[in-house]
Amino acid sequence: MTFFQCVEDCAGERVALHVLELNPRKIRPAVSFQPEWNHSRGILRGLIENGELQEDHIDEEIAGGRIVPSPQRIAGAGAMRRQTWSIEQHRAACQAAHPDSQIIAMVGNGNLGANPRFIASAHGRLIHLHSEQHRFHTHRYSCLAAWDRRVSIEDFDLSQPLPPGLDGFTFGQRLVRNGEPAGTEQIVAMACAQEFYDLRHLFLFGRIPRGNQRWIDAGLAAFWNNGTLDTDTLSRAIRGEPVEAPVGQFPRDATVAALRAKDYLESPDPRRPGQFSLRGDVLRIVLREGIYPHNMIGMRSGGALISVVTGGLSNRAGLTIRGAALLMHSLGARDALLLDNGADVMMHFDGRQILGSPEGERTRLRSALFFLHSEPLDAADARLISYPRQPCRLPVY
Protein backbone atom coordinates (compact mmCIF):
# COMPACT_ATOMS: atom_id res chain seq x y z
CA MET A 1 0.00 0.00 0.00
CA THR A 2 1.29 3.49 -0.82
CA PHE A 3 -1.16 5.64 1.13
CA PHE A 4 1.27 6.59 3.91
CA GLN A 5 3.39 9.74 3.88
CA CYS A 6 6.02 11.39 6.05
CA VAL A 7 8.29 14.41 6.34
CA GLU A 8 11.96 13.98 5.46
CA ASP A 9 13.06 13.61 9.10
CA CYS A 10 10.91 10.47 9.26
CA ALA A 11 12.07 9.02 5.95
CA GLY A 12 12.22 5.25 6.26
CA GLU A 13 9.54 5.24 8.98
CA ARG A 14 7.18 2.27 8.87
CA VAL A 15 3.80 2.51 10.54
CA ALA A 16 1.32 0.00 11.91
CA LEU A 17 -1.91 -0.94 10.12
CA HIS A 18 -4.48 -3.09 11.91
CA VAL A 19 -7.89 -4.07 10.53
CA LEU A 20 -10.50 -5.65 12.78
CA GLU A 21 -13.32 -7.42 10.91
CA LEU A 22 -16.50 -7.74 13.00
CA ASN A 23 -19.85 -9.45 12.49
CA PRO A 24 -22.44 -6.75 13.26
CA ARG A 25 -25.17 -9.34 13.82
CA LYS A 26 -23.34 -10.48 16.94
CA ILE A 27 -21.10 -7.53 17.83
CA ARG A 28 -22.32 -3.99 18.42
CA PRO A 29 -20.50 -0.71 19.14
CA ALA A 30 -21.14 1.12 22.41
CA VAL A 31 -19.89 4.58 23.41
CA SER A 32 -18.32 5.26 26.78
CA PHE A 33 -18.16 8.92 27.80
CA GLN A 34 -17.07 10.58 31.03
CA PRO A 35 -20.40 12.16 32.03
CA GLU A 36 -19.01 15.19 33.87
CA TRP A 37 -17.68 16.57 30.58
CA ASN A 38 -21.01 16.47 28.74
CA HIS A 39 -22.10 19.92 27.49
CA SER A 40 -18.67 21.42 28.18
CA ARG A 41 -17.09 24.07 25.96
CA GLY A 42 -14.49 21.60 24.73
CA ILE A 43 -11.07 22.66 23.49
CA LEU A 44 -10.96 26.34 22.49
CA ARG A 45 -8.98 26.99 19.31
CA GLY A 46 -8.12 29.96 17.15
CA LEU A 47 -8.39 32.74 19.73
CA ILE A 48 -6.42 35.86 18.79
CA GLU A 49 -5.69 38.39 21.51
CA ASN A 50 -3.73 41.61 21.01
CA GLY A 51 -2.93 40.40 17.51
CA GLU A 52 -1.41 37.13 18.72
CA LEU A 53 -2.69 33.60 18.22
CA GLN A 54 -3.26 31.84 21.54
CA GLU A 55 -2.53 28.21 22.36
CA ASP A 56 -5.34 25.68 22.22
CA HIS A 57 -6.73 25.38 25.74
CA ILE A 58 -9.69 24.59 27.94
CA ASP A 59 -11.15 26.98 30.49
CA GLU A 60 -13.16 24.53 32.61
CA GLU A 61 -12.46 21.91 35.23
CA ILE A 62 -14.43 19.41 37.27
CA ALA A 63 -15.26 20.26 40.87
CA GLY A 64 -17.87 18.51 42.97
CA GLY A 65 -18.82 16.27 40.06
CA ARG A 66 -19.70 19.09 37.67
CA ILE A 67 -18.05 21.50 35.24
CA VAL A 68 -16.98 24.87 36.65
CA PRO A 69 -14.85 27.67 35.17
CA SER A 70 -11.15 27.13 35.81
CA PRO A 71 -9.23 29.96 37.49
CA GLN A 72 -6.86 30.11 34.51
CA ARG A 73 -6.53 28.68 31.05
CA ILE A 74 -5.31 25.10 30.88
CA ALA A 75 -3.00 24.41 27.91
CA GLY A 76 -0.95 21.39 26.88
CA ALA A 77 -2.22 17.88 26.18
CA GLY A 78 -1.26 16.47 29.58
CA ALA A 79 -2.74 19.32 31.59
CA MET A 80 -5.99 19.35 29.60
CA ARG A 81 -6.43 15.63 30.32
CA ARG A 82 -5.60 15.77 34.02
CA GLN A 83 -9.24 15.16 35.06
CA THR A 84 -10.07 12.82 32.20
CA TRP A 85 -10.85 9.11 32.57
CA SER A 86 -8.25 6.47 31.87
CA ILE A 87 -8.93 3.58 29.50
CA GLU A 88 -9.48 1.32 32.51
CA GLN A 89 -12.10 3.68 33.91
CA HIS A 90 -13.90 3.65 30.56
CA ARG A 91 -13.71 -0.13 30.48
CA ALA A 92 -15.18 -0.43 33.98
CA ALA A 93 -17.98 2.04 33.17
CA CYS A 94 -18.82 0.22 29.93
CA GLN A 95 -18.95 -3.15 31.66
CA ALA A 96 -21.16 -1.74 34.42
CA ALA A 97 -23.54 -0.25 31.84
CA HIS A 98 -23.71 -3.53 29.89
CA PRO A 99 -23.52 -6.26 32.55
CA ASP A 100 -24.88 -8.96 30.22
CA SER A 101 -22.28 -8.30 27.50
CA GLN A 102 -18.59 -8.94 27.07
CA ILE A 103 -16.03 -6.55 25.61
CA ILE A 104 -14.20 -7.92 22.60
CA ALA A 105 -12.45 -4.72 21.44
CA MET A 106 -11.92 -1.02 22.14
CA VAL A 107 -10.68 1.99 20.17
CA GLY A 108 -10.27 5.64 21.08
CA ASN A 109 -13.03 8.18 20.47
CA GLY A 110 -11.31 11.26 21.82
CA ASN A 111 -12.82 13.87 19.48
CA LEU A 112 -16.14 13.44 21.28
CA GLY A 113 -16.35 16.02 24.03
CA ALA A 114 -13.39 17.96 22.64
CA ASN A 115 -14.45 19.31 19.23
CA PRO A 116 -17.64 20.67 17.61
CA ARG A 117 -19.85 18.40 15.49
CA PHE A 118 -18.77 15.31 17.40
CA ILE A 119 -21.93 14.03 18.99
CA ALA A 120 -23.11 10.67 20.30
CA SER A 121 -26.01 8.93 21.94
CA ALA A 122 -25.55 6.48 24.78
CA HIS A 123 -28.02 5.14 27.33
CA GLY A 124 -30.74 7.39 25.91
CA ARG A 125 -28.76 10.59 26.37
CA LEU A 126 -27.18 12.89 23.78
CA ILE A 127 -23.52 13.76 24.29
CA HIS A 128 -22.15 16.95 22.74
CA LEU A 129 -20.53 20.30 23.43
CA HIS A 130 -22.60 23.08 24.95
CA SER A 131 -22.60 25.03 21.66
CA GLU A 132 -23.76 22.16 19.46
CA GLN A 133 -27.50 21.98 20.07
CA HIS A 134 -28.29 25.20 18.21
CA ARG A 135 -26.76 23.61 15.08
CA PHE A 136 -29.16 20.64 15.03
CA HIS A 137 -31.48 22.45 12.60
CA THR A 138 -28.72 23.25 10.09
CA HIS A 139 -26.43 20.22 10.07
CA ARG A 140 -26.76 16.53 9.30
CA TYR A 141 -24.49 14.18 11.23
CA SER A 142 -22.75 11.16 9.66
CA CYS A 143 -22.78 8.50 12.33
CA LEU A 144 -21.96 4.92 13.20
CA ALA A 145 -25.31 3.64 14.46
CA ALA A 146 -26.11 0.55 16.53
CA TRP A 147 -29.51 -1.11 16.19
CA ASP A 148 -30.89 -4.45 17.32
CA ARG A 149 -28.55 -7.02 15.67
CA ARG A 150 -27.32 -4.64 13.00
CA VAL A 151 -24.96 -1.70 12.55
CA SER A 152 -25.06 1.07 9.93
CA ILE A 153 -23.32 4.25 8.83
CA GLU A 154 -25.88 6.90 7.96
CA ASP A 155 -26.77 10.57 8.31
CA PHE A 156 -29.06 11.78 11.09
CA ASP A 157 -31.17 14.92 11.28
CA LEU A 158 -31.07 15.67 14.98
CA SER A 159 -33.75 18.35 14.71
CA GLN A 160 -36.18 15.42 14.35
CA PRO A 161 -36.96 12.58 16.79
CA LEU A 162 -34.46 9.74 16.57
CA PRO A 163 -35.62 6.65 14.66
CA PRO A 164 -37.22 3.87 16.72
CA GLY A 165 -34.98 0.92 17.51
CA LEU A 166 -31.78 2.99 17.56
CA ASP A 167 -29.58 1.88 20.48
CA GLY A 168 -26.89 4.51 20.08
CA PHE A 169 -24.58 6.32 17.66
CA THR A 170 -21.38 8.32 17.40
CA PHE A 171 -20.36 10.91 14.80
CA GLY A 172 -17.37 10.77 12.46
CA GLN A 173 -16.16 12.71 9.43
CA ARG A 174 -17.30 10.99 6.24
CA LEU A 175 -14.37 9.37 4.39
CA VAL A 176 -16.34 7.13 2.00
CA ARG A 177 -19.95 7.56 0.89
CA ASN A 178 -21.70 4.96 -1.27
CA GLY A 179 -18.39 3.56 -2.43
CA GLU A 180 -16.81 6.93 -3.32
CA PRO A 181 -13.80 8.14 -1.28
CA ALA A 182 -13.89 11.79 -0.22
CA GLY A 183 -12.11 14.12 -2.62
CA THR A 184 -11.12 17.76 -2.43
CA GLU A 185 -14.60 19.28 -2.67
CA GLN A 186 -16.09 16.86 -0.15
CA ILE A 187 -13.29 17.77 2.28
CA VAL A 188 -13.90 21.48 1.62
CA ALA A 189 -17.59 21.05 2.44
CA MET A 190 -16.88 19.18 5.67
CA ALA A 191 -14.23 21.69 6.74
CA CYS A 192 -16.50 24.67 6.07
CA ALA A 193 -19.13 22.96 8.24
CA GLN A 194 -16.51 22.95 11.04
CA GLU A 195 -16.18 19.17 11.00
CA PHE A 196 -12.39 19.65 11.10
CA TYR A 197 -12.15 22.11 13.99
CA ASP A 198 -8.56 21.00 14.68
CA LEU A 199 -7.02 22.23 11.44
CA ARG A 200 -3.78 20.34 12.05
CA HIS A 201 -5.62 17.27 10.77
CA LEU A 202 -5.97 19.05 7.41
CA PHE A 203 -2.69 20.97 7.13
CA LEU A 204 0.97 20.53 7.93
CA PHE A 205 2.01 23.50 10.08
CA GLY A 206 5.39 24.44 11.46
CA ARG A 207 5.37 24.08 15.25
CA ILE A 208 6.83 26.78 17.51
CA PRO A 209 7.75 25.44 21.00
CA ARG A 210 5.89 27.05 23.92
CA GLY A 211 7.04 24.87 26.79
CA ASN A 212 7.19 21.23 27.81
CA GLN A 213 5.12 19.28 25.23
CA ARG A 214 3.45 22.54 24.15
CA TRP A 215 3.51 24.18 20.73
CA ILE A 216 1.75 26.81 18.66
CA ASP A 217 1.41 26.52 14.88
CA ALA A 218 2.93 29.03 12.49
CA GLY A 219 0.37 29.76 9.76
CA LEU A 220 -2.71 28.73 11.73
CA ALA A 221 -3.75 32.36 12.29
CA ALA A 222 -4.69 32.60 8.60
CA PHE A 223 -7.92 30.73 9.30
CA TRP A 224 -9.26 32.36 12.45
CA ASN A 225 -10.99 35.60 13.33
CA ASN A 226 -11.07 35.40 17.12
CA GLY A 227 -12.42 31.87 17.27
CA THR A 228 -14.48 32.03 14.06
CA LEU A 229 -13.28 30.09 11.03
CA ASP A 230 -12.61 32.00 7.82
CA THR A 231 -14.20 29.50 5.45
CA ASP A 232 -13.06 31.31 2.29
CA THR A 233 -9.41 31.06 3.32
CA LEU A 234 -9.98 27.49 4.46
CA SER A 235 -11.45 26.50 1.09
CA ARG A 236 -8.58 28.06 -0.83
CA ALA A 237 -5.98 26.32 1.30
CA ILE A 238 -7.58 22.88 0.86
CA ARG A 239 -7.64 23.47 -2.91
CA GLY A 240 -3.90 24.14 -2.87
CA GLU A 241 -3.96 27.91 -3.21
CA PRO A 242 -1.67 30.28 -1.27
CA VAL A 243 -2.92 31.91 1.93
CA GLU A 244 -1.45 34.59 4.17
CA ALA A 245 -1.03 34.53 7.94
CA PRO A 246 0.35 37.06 10.43
CA VAL A 247 3.39 35.62 12.23
CA GLY A 248 4.85 38.71 13.85
CA GLN A 249 4.45 37.18 17.32
CA PHE A 250 7.24 34.69 16.50
CA PRO A 251 10.92 35.43 15.87
CA ARG A 252 11.61 35.21 12.15
CA ASP A 253 14.29 32.55 12.59
CA ALA A 254 11.91 30.39 14.64
CA THR A 255 9.21 30.58 11.97
CA VAL A 256 11.60 29.65 9.18
CA ALA A 257 13.12 26.80 11.19
CA ALA A 258 9.68 25.41 12.08
CA LEU A 259 8.59 25.42 8.44
CA ARG A 260 11.83 23.91 7.17
CA ALA A 261 11.43 21.11 9.73
CA LYS A 262 8.24 20.19 7.82
CA ASP A 263 10.05 20.32 4.45
CA TYR A 264 8.77 23.74 3.37
CA LEU A 265 11.01 25.68 0.99
CA GLU A 266 11.25 29.44 0.60
CA SER A 267 10.07 30.86 -2.72
CA PRO A 268 9.60 34.46 -3.86
CA ASP A 269 6.19 33.52 -5.28
CA PRO A 270 4.69 30.46 -3.53
CA ARG A 271 2.43 28.54 -5.90
CA ARG A 272 2.98 24.85 -5.08
CA PRO A 273 2.30 22.94 -1.86
CA GLY A 274 5.37 23.18 0.35
CA GLN A 275 6.44 26.69 -0.72
CA PHE A 276 6.40 29.84 1.42
CA SER A 277 7.64 33.40 1.56
CA LEU A 278 8.10 35.58 4.63
CA ARG A 279 7.90 39.31 4.09
CA GLY A 280 7.88 41.37 7.22
CA ASP A 281 5.35 39.84 9.58
CA VAL A 282 3.31 38.12 6.84
CA LEU A 283 3.72 34.48 5.92
CA ARG A 284 2.48 33.55 2.45
CA ILE A 285 2.26 29.79 2.12
CA VAL A 286 0.79 26.94 0.11
CA LEU A 287 0.12 24.42 2.83
CA ARG A 288 0.88 20.74 2.60
CA GLU A 289 -1.70 18.23 3.79
CA GLY A 290 -1.63 17.17 7.43
CA ILE A 291 -0.22 13.70 8.19
CA TYR A 292 -1.57 11.78 11.19
CA PRO A 293 -2.29 8.41 12.73
CA HIS A 294 -6.02 7.75 12.28
CA ASN A 295 -8.81 5.65 13.75
CA MET A 296 -11.51 4.78 11.19
CA ILE A 297 -14.64 2.68 10.97
CA GLY A 298 -16.31 1.30 7.85
CA MET A 299 -19.08 -0.91 6.50
CA ARG A 300 -18.49 -3.25 3.57
CA SER A 301 -21.15 -3.99 0.97
CA GLY A 302 -21.61 -7.48 2.42
CA GLY A 303 -22.45 -5.99 5.81
CA ALA A 304 -19.16 -6.57 7.65
CA LEU A 305 -17.99 -3.87 10.05
CA ILE A 306 -14.29 -2.96 9.92
CA SER A 307 -12.40 -1.00 12.56
CA VAL A 308 -9.08 0.29 11.22
CA VAL A 309 -6.23 1.97 13.12
CA THR A 310 -2.94 3.25 11.74
CA GLY A 311 0.22 4.27 13.57
CA GLY A 312 2.57 7.14 12.90
CA LEU A 313 3.58 10.47 14.42
CA SER A 314 1.28 13.48 14.46
CA ASN A 315 2.03 15.79 11.51
CA ARG A 316 5.16 13.81 10.69
CA ALA A 317 4.21 10.30 9.55
CA GLY A 318 0.90 8.64 8.74
CA LEU A 319 -2.08 9.41 6.53
CA THR A 320 -3.58 12.56 5.07
CA ILE A 321 -7.37 12.85 5.14
CA ARG A 322 -7.43 12.01 1.45
CA GLY A 323 -5.11 9.07 2.10
CA ALA A 324 -7.38 7.82 4.88
CA ALA A 325 -10.35 7.88 2.50
CA LEU A 326 -8.42 5.99 -0.17
CA LEU A 327 -7.20 3.42 2.35
CA MET A 328 -10.70 2.69 3.62
CA HIS A 329 -11.97 2.42 0.05
CA SER A 330 -9.15 -0.03 -0.77
CA LEU A 331 -10.11 -2.14 2.24
CA GLY A 332 -13.60 -2.57 0.80
CA ALA A 333 -15.54 0.04 2.79
CA ARG A 334 -18.70 1.18 1.04
CA ASP A 335 -19.17 3.79 3.77
CA ALA A 336 -16.56 4.94 6.25
CA LEU A 337 -16.00 7.50 8.98
CA LEU A 338 -12.96 9.06 10.62
CA LEU A 339 -13.38 8.86 14.39
CA ASP A 340 -10.12 9.95 15.95
CA ASN A 341 -6.59 11.09 15.22
CA GLY A 342 -3.10 11.47 16.60
CA ALA A 343 -2.13 10.31 20.05
CA ASP A 344 -5.68 9.13 20.87
CA VAL A 345 -5.45 6.38 18.22
CA MET A 346 -5.31 3.00 19.95
CA MET A 347 -6.84 -0.46 19.73
CA HIS A 348 -7.38 -3.28 22.23
CA PHE A 349 -8.67 -6.67 21.09
CA ASP A 350 -9.46 -9.85 23.00
CA GLY A 351 -7.76 -8.62 26.14
CA ARG A 352 -4.58 -7.44 24.37
CA GLN A 353 -3.28 -4.02 23.41
CA ILE A 354 -2.86 -4.13 19.63
CA LEU A 355 -1.85 -0.50 19.13
CA GLY A 356 -0.95 1.85 21.93
CA SER A 357 -0.95 5.62 21.71
CA PRO A 358 1.57 6.52 18.98
CA GLU A 359 3.02 9.30 21.14
CA GLY A 360 3.85 7.83 24.51
CA GLU A 361 1.73 7.42 27.60
CA ARG A 362 -1.50 8.96 26.27
CA THR A 363 -4.08 6.86 28.08
CA ARG A 364 -6.69 9.43 29.10
CA LEU A 365 -9.55 10.61 26.90
CA ARG A 366 -13.12 11.75 27.33
CA SER A 367 -14.61 8.97 25.21
CA ALA A 368 -13.84 5.45 24.01
CA LEU A 369 -15.70 3.15 21.64
CA PHE A 370 -16.20 -0.46 22.74
CA PHE A 371 -17.36 -3.47 20.75
CA LEU A 372 -19.61 -5.81 22.73
CA HIS A 373 -21.16 -9.24 22.32
CA SER A 374 -23.70 -11.12 24.41
CA GLU A 375 -23.53 -14.54 22.75
CA PRO A 376 -20.61 -16.86 21.94
CA LEU A 377 -18.46 -15.84 18.99
CA ASP A 378 -16.99 -17.98 16.25
CA ALA A 379 -13.51 -17.22 14.94
CA ALA A 380 -14.99 -15.53 11.86
CA ASP A 381 -17.10 -13.15 13.96
CA ALA A 382 -14.10 -11.11 15.13
CA ARG A 383 -10.92 -11.37 13.08
CA LEU A 384 -7.83 -9.19 13.47
CA ILE A 385 -5.58 -8.62 10.45
CA SER A 386 -2.26 -7.00 11.36
CA TYR A 387 -0.49 -5.98 8.17
CA PRO A 388 3.29 -5.71 7.87
CA ARG A 389 4.39 -2.24 8.93
CA GLN A 390 3.72 0.13 6.07
CA PRO A 391 6.49 2.26 4.51
CA CYS A 392 5.96 6.02 4.41
CA ARG A 393 6.92 8.00 1.33
CA LEU A 394 7.74 11.65 0.89
CA PRO A 395 4.80 13.40 -0.82
CA VAL A 396 5.11 14.40 -4.46
CA TYR A 397 3.24 17.52 -5.60
pLDDT given at position 51:
87
57 pLDDT band, cuts 50/70/90, is: very high
Residue with the larger pLDDT of the pair 187 and 343: 187
Phi, psi of 311 (to 5 degrees): -85, -170
C-beta separation of 25 from 363 below 8 A:
no
- What pLDDT is attached to residue 179? 97
Supply the pLDDT for residue 74.
95
Reported as a pLDDT band with limits 50, 70 and 90, residue 363 is confident
Distance CA 394, CA 397 (A): 10
Summarize the confidence of residues 362-368 as an average pLDDT.
Answer: 89
pLDDT tens string 294-315: 999 999 999 999 999 999 999 9
Is residue 66 exposed (0-12), middle (13-18) or buried (19+ Cβ within 10 Å)? exposed
Amino acid at site 254: A
Kind and range of the H or E run holding 282: strand 282-285
Beta partners for residue 111, in sequence order: none
pLDDT tens profile 303-353: 999 999 999 999 999 999 999 999 999 999 999 999 999 989 999 999 999
Alpha carbon separation from 137 to 119, 121, 158, 295, 365 (Å, rounded)? 14, 17, 7, 28, 29
- Give the per-residue pLDDT at 395: 87
Amino acid type, 191: A
User: Closest Cα to residue 327, out of 179, 171, 181, 177?
Assistant: 181
Average pLDDT, the chain: 94
Give the integer Cα–Cα distance in Å for 207 and 86.
28
pLDDT in tens, 74-114: 998 889 999 999 999 999 999 999 999 999 999 999 999 99
**Distance, CA of 324 to CA of 63 (rounded, Å):** 39
Residue positions counted in the chain: 397
pLDDT in tens, 161-182: 999 999 999 999 999 999 999 9
Res 360: pLDDT: 64
Residue 251's pLDDT band, with cuts at 50, 70 and 90, is: very high
DSSP category for residue 42? -
d(CA 227, CA 225): 6
- What's the pLDDT at 361? 63
Task: Please give the pLDDT value at position 1.
Answer: 58
